[in-house]
Amino acid sequence: MAEVSQATSRGAVFADKVRLGFVASPAPEAQAALKKFAKRYGAVDPSSATVIVALGGDGLMLSTLHRFMGTEVPIYGMHRGSVGFLMNEFIEDDLPERVANAKLSIIHPLKMQVENMAGETLNALAVNEVHLFRQTAQSARLSISVDGKERIGELVADGVLVATPAGSTAYNFSAGGPILPLKAKLLALTPISPFRPRRWRGALLSNKAHVKITVQEAGKRPVSAVADHAEFRNVLSVSIREERAIGLKLLFDPGHALEERILAEQFRF
Query: How would DSSP label each residue in 201-222?
Result: --EEEETT--EEEEESSTTTS-
The DSSP H or E segment spanning 98 is helix 95-100
What residue numbers does the annotated binding site cover?
Answer: 58-59, 128-129, 158, 166, 169-174
CA separation for the pair 25, 70 (Å, rounded): 21
| Buried b or exposed e, range 184-215, using 16+ CB within 10 angstroms | bebbbbbbbebeeeeeeebbebebebebbbbb
CATH H-level superfamily of 110-242 = Probable inorganic polyphosphate/atp-NAD kinase; domain 2 (2.60.200.30)
Q: What is the pLDDT of residues 191-249, one digit of tens each?
A: 999 999 988 999 999 999 999 999 999 999 999 999 999 999 999 999 999 999 999 99
Q: Give start-end residues of each CATH 2.60.200.30 domain in the chain.
A: 110-242
Q: How confident is the model at residue 6 (pLDDT cuts 50, 70, 90)?
A: very low
133 contacts 159 by C-beta, under 8 angstroms: yes
- Is a pLDDT exceeding 80 seen at residue 114? yes
Average pLDDT over residues 31-56: 94
Question: Is the backbone peptide bond immediately before 197 cis, with ω within 30 degrees of 0?
Answer: yes
User: Which residues does 30 contact at the CB level (< 8 Å), separation at least 6?
Assistant: 24, 55, 56, 60, 80, 81
Q: How confident is the model at residue 16 (pLDDT cuts 50, 70, 90)?
A: low
Q: How confident is the model at residue 268 (pLDDT cuts 50, 70, 90)?
A: confident
Q: Give start-end residues of each CATH 3.40.50.10330 domain in the chain.
A: 5-108+246-265
Domain 5-108+246-265: give its CATH code.
3.40.50.10330
> Which residues form the catalytic set?
58
pLDDT recorded at residue 121: 98
pLDDT recorded at residue 8: 41
Average pLDDT over residues 10-22: 67
pLDDT recorded at residue 199: 87
What residue numbers does the annotated binding site for NAD(+) cover?
Answer: 58-59, 128-129, 158, 166, 169-174
CA separation for the pair 81, 237 (Å, rounded): 35
Q: How far is CA 78 from CA 37, 85, 253, in A?
A: 12, 10, 10
